[in-house]
Amino acid sequence: LRQAEELKRLSTLNDEIINNSPIGIFTIDPTGIILTENPALRRIIGYGPDETRVGMNLTEMPGFSVDLKKYLEEIATQKKPVYIKNLTYQPSHQDRELTLNVRANPILDFDKKVKSILIMIEDATEQAQIQKRMQRAEKLSAMGLLAAGVAYELKVPINLLTIDLNFIENNIPETSPVHDYVKSMKDELSRISQITEQLLNLGKPGDDDVETFEVHKLITSHPIQITLNRLQKSGFIINTAYPKESPKIKGRKNQLIQALLHIISNAEEAMPNKGEIRINVGSVLKNGEKFASITIEDTGIGIPPENLSKIFQPFFTTKGPKSTGLGLMVTYTIINNHGGAIGVKSAPGEGTSFKILLPAID
C-alpha cells in the first residue's frame, strides 16, 4: 500500500513538473499522431488553453518550415535523439514567425522498437532576434569604420577641388557659359562633402560630452522644435505627448537629436500632400529592465514589405539622386552605440512607425 501511494505521489509530481514546465512537451506515436501535450506547448504553438492537438498528426500540421516526416523516419531507423535548431514556425493565428529549438527522443519498448517519441520544444524567438541584431550591429560597425576611413581620405581632395572651383567662379564673368558648369560642379561636390561628413560620423563617437538627461528633453530641444514648427506652419499636423518627468538616459544629446531628425525628415518626405506626425515618449519594461521609449509615427505612403529589411543599410534609398541613403543608417548606428534598439512597422498606404528604446537609468 505504501509503495502504491509513493508511486502515485511520484506520478502526480511528474505531471506537475510537465504541466508547469516553460518548455513545450508532448509525445507522439511513430507515425506522428500526438498522444499527450502540456500547457506550454499550447502557448508556444499558438492555440487556446481549451484547444488540443491530441489525435492530430504532427506531420500534417501547417506552419513548420521543414518536412517533419523525414525526422520521424530518421528516429524510427536510427533510434537516436534528433535536435533541430532554429526551426521556423508560423502560428496560424499570429502574424509573426517563431524560431523554435526542437529535441526529439525515442522511447523504446522491450523489443528495442520505437513505441513513442518524446518531443520538447523551446521558443527561441527572442534569442534568435538578439543574435540577428548583434550580427547586424557588428556588420554595420565594420562598414562604418571602413566608410569613415574612406571618407577621411576623400575630405582633403574635396576641399582642394572646392577651393579651385571657387577661384574659377570668381574669375569668370557671370555671363560665361562655363559659370553654370562650375556651379553644377560645386553643388555636386557639396553633396559629396555631405556624404563624407555622414560617413565620418559613423566612425567616431562624437565630440559632445556624455550627459544624463530626461528623454523628453530630446523632443523639446531647439533643433527638434524648430523642425516641428516649420512643418506645422507648412500644413503638417504635429502631435507630441510626453510626461512632465520622463525616464532619464545617459548619452550624447546632439547625436540622439540628429538620429530623431533623420526619422522626422523621412516622415516629411513620405507625406508629399502633408499629413500627421505623432511623437510619443514613455517607458517600457523588457526582460525586467527599464527602457525609455520614443515612438515617431506618420500617416505617409508607407514602406513596401520587401524594403523594410533594407532601410537601415548604407546607401539604400528610394528617393533618387537627391538622397544619400545614409540617414537611417546613421540613426541606427547612433541608437546602437547608446545600447538601444530601433524597430519599424509599416505597410503601403498605412504610414510608418519607428520605435526607439534606450536604456533608462535610476
> What pLDDT, on the 0 to 100 scale, is given for residue 327?
76
Q: What are phi and psi of 86, to 5 degrees?
A: 55, 50
Q: How many CB atoms lie within 10 A of CB 202?
A: 23
Model confidence, pTM: 0.53
> What pLDDT, on the 0 to 100 scale, is given for residue 306?
83
* C-alpha grid cell, residue 255: 547625436
Residues 198, 324: contact at Cβ < 8 Å?
yes
Give the whole-angstrom CA distance, residue 333 versus residue 313: 10
Q: Which CATH number fits domain 208-362: 3.30.1330.10, 3.30.565.10, 3.20.20.220, 3.30.450.20?
A: 3.30.565.10
Q: Is 354 helix (H, G, I), strand (E, B) or coil?
A: strand
Q: What are phi and psi of 344, to 5 degrees?
A: -140, 140
2-123 matches 208-362 in fold: no
> What pLDDT, on the 0 to 100 scale, is given for residue 2?
75
CATH number of 2-123: 3.30.450.20
Domain boundaries, the chain: 2-123, 128-204, 208-362
Residues 6 or more apart from 223 whose CB is under 8 A from it?
Answer: 257, 261
Tens digits of residue pLDDT in 115-141: 889 988 888 888 887 777 666 666 666
Percent helix, strand, coil in the chain, to 5, is 45, 25, 30
> What pLDDT, on the 0 to 100 scale, is given for residue 295?
96
Give the whole-angstrom CA distance, residue 272 versus residue 261: 18
pLDDT means per 10 residues, the chain with 362 residues, are 75 74 85 86 73 79 77 86 85 75 88 87 82 68 66 79 88 86 84 71 60 93 90 94 90 88 91 93 89 95 84 67 68 88 90 95 82
- The sign of the CA dihedral 216, 218, 222, 224 is negative
